[in-house]
Every structure is written in C-alpha cells, then in structure tokens.
Amino acid sequence: MPQLFPMNWNLLIIMFSMIIILTSMLIYFNYKPMLKSTQMKFDVLMKLWKW
C-alpha cells in the first residue's frame, strides 16, 4: 500500500483530515438556518482556497 503513494504519509493524512473537516463544516453550516453566516463562511473559504 505505501508504494502506491510516493508522497509523504503525514502530508496525505493531513490533507485527508482537512478535506473531512471542510466537508463537515460545509454540511454543518448548510444545515444551520443562518444563511448569511453561511455565505460569509463560504466567501472566506473561497478566499483561503485562492492562495
């Protein structure tokens, strides 16, 4: 299994955990009734994603 990924395992685990956290945050904010905070959070996420 480690031969399939030439990149570092720590980096892979960090990326995987970040993806899980981001998806859970998006789901959480989508289920909350405050739409304005969701829009603000989405804008912040898009700004962070740009770099």
Domain interval for residue 9: 2-50
Whole-model pTM: value is 0.42
Q: Which two tokens stand for residue 48?
A: 């962070």
Considering its fold, how many domains does the chain have in total?
A: 1
pLDDT of 37 reads 58
* Count of Cβ atoms closer than 10 Å to residue 38 Cβ: 16
The answer to whether 38 and 30 have CB atoms below 8 angstroms apart is yes
Predicted confidence band of residue 35 (pLDDT cuts 50, 70, 90): low
Q: Is residue 6 within 8 Å of 14, Cβ to Cβ?
A: no
pLDDT at residue 32 in the model: 65
Q: Per-residue pLDDT for 1 more than 60?
A: no
In terms of residues, how long is the chain? 51
Q: pLDDT of 7-20, one tens digit each?
A: 677 788 888 999 99
Output the average pLDDT for the chain.
73
